[in-house]
Amino acid sequence: MKKGQSRLWLFLLLLIAPVSARAQQAWSGIISPSRAINWSNAGVIGGIPDASWAQCGSTIQAYGTSGAPSSASTINNGISACGTNQYVQLGAGTFYLNSSINFGGKSNVVLRGVGADQTIIRFTSGPGSGCQGLGGGVCIINGDGQDARSGLPNTANWTAGYAPGTTSITLSSTANLSVGALLILWQADQPSDPGTIWNCQNTGALGDCSQQGGQGGPSGNSQTQTVTVTSVSGTTVGISPGLYSPIWSAAYSPHAGWPTHLPVTNDGVENLTLDSSLATDSPGTAGALLYLGWAENCWVTGVRTINNASPPYRNNIWTYQSSHLTIQNNYIYGSNGYDLSYGIEVAFMSDDNLVANNMFQHVAGAEIINNGTGNVFAYNFSTDNYYTANGSAPNFQQSDSYPSHQDGSYLNLFEGNVGAKMAADDIHGTSWMVTAFRNYWTGRDGPYKTGSTMAVDIEAYARYFNLIGNVLGEPGYHNAYKDIPASQTDNTGCGSTGNRSVFALGWAGGQGCSFSTVYNDTKVAPTIYLWGNYDTVTAAIRWCGNSSNAVWSTICSLISEVPTALSAYAQAVPSSTALPASFYFVSAPWWYVDGLGHTTIPYPAIGPDVTGSGPGGFVNAIPAQVCFNNTSYDTSYAISDSISSITENGTTATATLAGGAPAGFTQYQSFWIRGSSVAGYNRLWQIASVSGSTITFTAYAGLGSASGGTATVNAIHSFNAAACYGQQLNSGQPFPPTSLSLTIH
């Protein structure tokens, strides 16, 4: 059975028997059924379908110039002219556009290039406000401009059907509701902390749950779920998937809302580059290079995004009020170190999406969820977490994996990712029941990062997290296993112990440095479930589950360790230490396998039961990492100079460049060294200062003097997904990949 077929079968099973399907998962026997869901529902149902679609019209050749950019109307008209299940083909070359590509609410059409290294779209101006009022270089959205956070044209009371797994609910009205609609469910926030899950976004007074307040859902209603209507009979509505949250309740005034139009479906963007480098009027904190709103079963694959506008777009790719999207096999570059500048943001009632096998480089927050449930982030590689807070905090380590940055983010899965850090913060509200499985998080990008350098930072009111089979920390740097507040007002986490701990659990604002609206949460640590993780401080696989253990043992009893008040979602000790390869895939995903069915990269790549390199010998490179390491710089963007010599004085190193530091070599800019005579220098660094032909940077002590190699800024790679992963992305069938090494930088 193929992967797509197996997922379709699971989807149908979910419709027929949701309760049993919820229980019989790859995580069964490892995670309590009350703390996880059926994640096989994430992504395009049945897989991306366009392998046999026909081309619509003639190939559109590159047009416009940098000095005389043109309208996107030629491309938009091509999309509009397509029939069902067709694609618009863009030729090789550079398209210079001064307006947005907009699918115009059309479904069942694909925009396809011939490869991200060959079809380049360069936007010379910002995307305007034509995409739900936010702007998108490429805009995929239905005919609605409504933001569900501020109101929908159709709403009803949700009067019955609240249990987890339920696929039939009752509404007070179903006027204008039809099969296929995206239905958004929400309920009011819990007014006070019940001591277990606290779904909350309150801010303004000490003792609230949020530093800045949030609005993941309609005002005051932060718990949401976006589902598809499968049937309407009177006021009874069938939905798919079933309900995820265990705290839906009539006590919190549950409601439902829906837009005027059905969602846009089966649209895709494939095999091209979207570049904002020439845009001088970027929307900054709004807009995205590629925006999907009120979309379902749509996809983005083989795409390179270069977010180099000043200021940059908020996102490279942004999902908004959408479900079952697949964002896969892409290369995401650029942020300029700003606060609001993300890689792929799954946000504001976006549920059941798959973000997999993507490369992220030079991005402040690579993978982020701002309100969503049932999403899967899997096998993504992140490097150069470029965040300087606009120059005010150049040494602060932002997170690559954000399972929650907004109220109402819950029951999401992060699996097999490689990067610097995972964080669940309390800036915009609470989160709960996130699962992290077989990830490798080092804690920091390099020696220049000294602030907030925990491998895992789970802040106040992020409860009932599951961390299983992960590899965590940097050998020689992290010196404490965990950092947990002793009380609501403990602020000892502000010191070096907090920065250099593998786990920081329950601090307000990350390290309890101040208490303006949020106290520390002493219930985060007792509710976390840790099983089979390897950390670099104790240098051991920890087969016990709760971070509050005074003494570690081979197997330990969680039930006796969890206080009675927190036992509603108690986690029993598994009967075995065996772990499945994945909580999502039924077999190795296709990008791991060549045309003969041979695994070319170890699968699973990370965990206590694999053999590799990295900390403890438990880490192998994942395919996206291999792709990154074996792809050359794009000379259209990269700025390089050869290195005459490097001298080192303790933790400070100075490189002399043969041609003098060229433009682009500026303070706080990250740069790569390749080909140095001392291998330890061949990695990512950050420029501390520039003087004439020399650049100074923080380095690891003991590397000594070196010569040769090149220093590169704006190190954008030349990316072609088919070449990296051995598959014609629009053929549906793999072929043998090019030769790839497994170097881990």
Residue 390 reports pLDDT greater than 80:
no
The whole model's pTM is what? 0.92
Q: Name every residue whose Cβ is closer than 8 Å to that of residue 324 and which is 6 or more positions away in sequence.
A: 41, 42, 43, 44, 45, 228, 296, 297, 352, 353
Residue 1 reports pLDDT greater than 80:
no
CB-neighbour burial class of residue 659 (10 A; exposed 0-12, middle 13-18, buried 19+): exposed
Residue 477 reports pLDDT greater than 50:
yes
Residue ranges in 645-689 assigned as alpha helix (H):
none
Identify any residues that bridge with 111 across adjacent strands, giving them in sequence order.
88, 269
Average of per-residue pLDDT across 278-307: 86
Q: What's the confidence (pLDDT) of residue 591? A: 86
Residue 24 reports pLDDT greater than 70:
no
Average of per-residue pLDDT across 565-592: 83
Contact of 397 with 451, CB cutoff 8 Å: yes
DSSP 711-727: EEES--B---HHHHHTB
The predicted-structure confidence for 413-443, as pLDDT tens digits, reads as follows 999 999 999 999 888 888 999 999 999 999 9
Q: What's the confidence (pLDDT) of residue 204? A: 80
The predicted-structure confidence for 714-737, as pLDDT tens digits, reads as follows 999 999 998 888 653 333 333 222
CA distance readout (Å), 79 to 73, 98, 268, 440, 597? 10, 18, 11, 41, 36
Residue 6 reports pLDDT greater than 50:
no
Between residues 339 and 398, the one the model is more confident about: 398
Give CA angle at 740 (734, 744), nearest 5°: 125
In the chain, % of residues over pLDDT 70: 87
DSSP code at position 489: T
Question: Cis omega (within 30 of 0) on the bond before 574?
Answer: no
Please provide residue 144's backbone torsions phi and psi, each rounded to the nearest 5 degrees. Answer: -100, 140
pLDDT grade, residue 65 (50/70/90)? very high
The predicted-structure confidence for 636-652, as pLDDT tens digits, reads as follows 999 999 999 999 998 99
Q: Hey, where are the domains in the chain?
A: 154-264, 639-713
Amino acid in the structure at residue 701 = A
Counting DSSP H helices and E strands in the chain, the numbers are 7, 53
Residue 7 reports pLDDT greater than 60:
no
SS3 string, 34-46, reads HHCCCHHHCCCCC
Between residues 575 and 376, the one the model is more confident about: 376
SS3 string, 335-381, reads CCECCCCEEEEEECCCECCEEECCEEECCCEEEEEECEECCEEECCE
Q: What's the confidence (pLDDT) of residue 19? A: 31
Please give the CATH number for the structural domain made up of 639-713.
2.40.30
Lowest mean pLDDT among 496-500, 555-559, 665-669, 704-708: 555-559
Which helix (H) or strand (E) segment is 625 a member of?
helix 623-629
